[in-house]
Structure 1
Amino acid sequence: MNWLAPDSKFMRAWSNLVDGVWINILMLVTSIPIITIGAALTAGHDACRRSIEGEGKGVTSNYFKSFKTNFIKATLLWLPFLVALIALVWSWIVLQITPLLIIKFALTILWLIGFEWVFALQARFENTVAGTLKNAFIFGISHIAMTVALVIVDAVFVALLAASWFHMPGGLFLLVILGYGTMLMLH
């Protein structure tokens, strides 16, 4: 098969990359009010899954349909994660107390486990907010290898952002454009 044929692996990968970039742009625009980050992440997960599986009318319509459908539940899921994130960052920066180190590590790991799964589950399944939170931790702990892989992918992206910020600011634009939408395609 010709590598430029529409059904070739190269063209499918290129199409997925372009969809990931577009989903990232949509996520950036709809995340401008911080309160909507949960809905944007949920819509991003749903649009990526549908794009890869070839479902729906198009990436943009899938994204906004999911954003609208999941807005309330995703926002209710995001708010505790936002509060916990602020508290964790504050504790790591301000509370330099050695006996609290184990507690801070444990709470950070729990936050990462929940964060990696909760919005993907909200995008895929219909459940209550409490049920989705519970299932996120169940999935995260029972599929620990996959959770570690997801955290590694996210950590590499954050490390690239930080390195680019300090050492190669010209590459920062490319990383922001590729962004989390492309990482969701990898998830």
Structure 2
Amino acid sequence: MNQLFNYDNPIMQFISKIFDLIILNLFFLLFSIPIVTMGASLSALYYVCLKLLRGEEPYIWQNFFKAFRQNLKQATVVWVLLLLAFALLGMDFYIINSQDTALFAVLRVLLWVVLGALFSISLYIFPVISHFICSTKQSFKNAAYMAIGFLPYTAVMLAISGVLLYLCTVSSKLFAMVIIISGICGHSVIAFTFCIFFDRIFRKYEPK
């Protein structure tokens, strides 16, 4: 019985990890409430998740707030720029979908390619900001390079994101379930899962 509650027990370590992710998810949601700060909150989320994955066992609150404060300005600028870019793409889709010609059909395909590229960059850029010290311009370049250079990882993360978005559109029950799980631990679990890929990628650029 004592071994069951021993912290070195794999079961206890798993339970502890889940608890950490629940707490981390709560911090992410709270710091994302103003919406405009969601970029900084995302960078802090990935910062802590990578530490958890590497077994550094950080103090969740201290490390989350540290990363949030340090990356607030840069991550907020990036977040706003991405929101504007997605908004412009949304307007383009609205205009093109109202037309029914061969030319607009080609433009629609091109827009989907641009959307996929932009979404791929958005998957990488906040983890990049949280892990490396570089300018905003360089962060975009690094995120784009990694998204292309590690295409299999990018494809898997895009597929996971696509499945989650699809589940939200299947039925109201599934949508409600996704929202509930997201409110408990969904965001941190997804970030932790993605950090499995980011850990392998980032190690290639870290000083030996």
Q: TM-score range by the shorter chain?
A: 0.7 to 0.9
Give, in whole Å, the separation in 1 of the partners of 2:20 and 2:94.
Answer: 37
How far apart are 1:56 and its partner, in Å? 6.5
- Cα pair distance change 1:74/1:10, threshold 3 Å: same
Match of 1:62 in 2: 63
Give, in whole Å, the separation in 2 of the partners of 1:31 and 1:94.
Answer: 31
* Matching of residue 121 in structure 1 with residue 121 in structure 2: no
Unaligned runs of 5+ in 2: 98-103, 195-208
Match of 2:200 in 1: none
Give, in whole Å, the separation in 2 of the partners of 1:61 and 1:23.
Answer: 11
Assess if the C-alpha contact under 8 Å between 1:74 and 1:119 holds in 2: yes
Match of 1:30 in 2: 31
Alignment TM-score, normalising by the size of structure 2 = 0.80
Deviation string 1:33-52 (CA, Å, 9 cap, x unpaired) is: 12111101000000111223
- Cα pair distance change 1:43/1:175, threshold 3 Å: closer
Determine which of 163, 172, 176 is the counterpart of 1:166.
172
- Cα pair distance change 1:95/1:10, threshold 3 Å: farther
1:99 maps to amino acid: V
1:167 maps to amino acid: K
Match of 1:43 in 2: 44
Match of 2:199 in 1: none
1:64 maps to amino acid: F
Give, in whole Å, the separation in 1 of the partners of 2:189 and 2:28.
Answer: 11
Partner of 1:95: helix, strand, or coil?
helix
Assess if the C-alpha contact under 8 Å between 1:51 and 1:59 holds in 2: no
- More divergent stretch after superposition (92-101 vs 42-51): 92-101
Give, in whole Å, the separation in 2 of the partners of 1:15 and 1:56.
Answer: 10
Match of 1:146 in 2: 153
1:134 maps to amino acid: K
- More divergent stretch after superposition (99-108 vs 152-161): 152-161
Give, in whole Å, the separation in 2 of the partners of 1:53 and 1:34.
Answer: 29
- More divergent stretch after superposition (39-48 vs 104-113): 104-113
Assess if the C-alpha contact under 8 Å between 2:51 and 2:58 holds in 1: no
Larger radius of gyration: 2
Match of 1:75 in 2: 76
Give, in whole Å, the separation in 2 of the partners of 1:22 and 1:162.
Answer: 28
Alignment TM-score, normalising by the size of structure 1 = 0.88
Match of 2:203 in 1: none
How far apart are 1:169 and its partner, in Å? 6.2
Match of 1:10 in 2: 11
- Cα pair distance change 1:94/1:167, threshold 3 Å: farther
Q: CA RMSD in A?
A: 2.1
- More divergent stretch after superposition (39-48 vs 7-16): 7-16
Deviation string 1:56-106 (CA, Å, 9 cap, x unpaired) is: 751111101100001111112112111111122233344213231122111
Assess if the C-alpha contact under 8 Å between 2:48 and 2:58 holds in 1: no
Partner of 1:55: helix, strand, or coil?
coil
State the identity %.
Answer: 22
Match of 1:185 in 2: 192
Match of 1:135 in 2: 142
